[in-house]
Amino acid sequence: QAVVDFEQLGEYAAAFQGHDVGFCCLGTTRAKAGADGFVRVDRDYVAQAAELARSGGCKHFVLQSSQGANAQSRFLYLRVKGEVENLVQAIGFDHCTILRPAVLLCKRQESRPMEWIAQQFFGAMACLFPTANSVPVETVARAMVACVLQPSKEKVKVLENRAIHELGKA
């Protein structure tokens, strides 16, 4: 494990050397970082980390994105997620897996009132429709590991919420 300064990420290229697999779950919120900060973290930092990983020998990059990611979206969040997906795919990993989870069910240290309300609602909905609108973060983590242990023959594989649930059942 290495602690890096994302504002000076290029100076930490050695930390990205010699790894076959890269996992990326980096992200923030617009409320926490502002619009420019959100773009910097969710797109720019992720793309730069992926480039360093590839230069360091990474063969399989696994990116947690978001349900609805689309580089053409009018919504900043979905547009940035779509843009970073495109940037990461263009780097040319042997394998690239993109996970697009719905609402992540987790406990956060910081207060996010609207997210808390959504989690309560989607947590209850999960009893009726377990794969439709939410996914526990533990399930996403298991799916990320599983897609590396059982790689797809496809160069780029995109897993939507239902597939994340199925892969993360183990």
Task: List active site positions.
Answer: 77, 81
The number of beta carbons lying within 10 Å of the beta carbon of residue 122 is 18
Cα–Cα dist 32/109, whole Å: 13
Cα–Cα dist 29/123, whole Å: 21
Query: 30-39 and 76-90 are packed helices; what angle lies between their axes, rounded to 10 degrees?
Result: 40
Hey, what amino acid is at 71?
Answer: A
34 Rama sector, left if φ>0, alpha if ψ -120 to 50, beta otherwise: left
Cα–Cα dist 41/81, whole Å: 11
Cα–Cα dist 144/13, whole Å: 24
φ, ψ of residue 43 to 5 degrees: the values are -115, -60
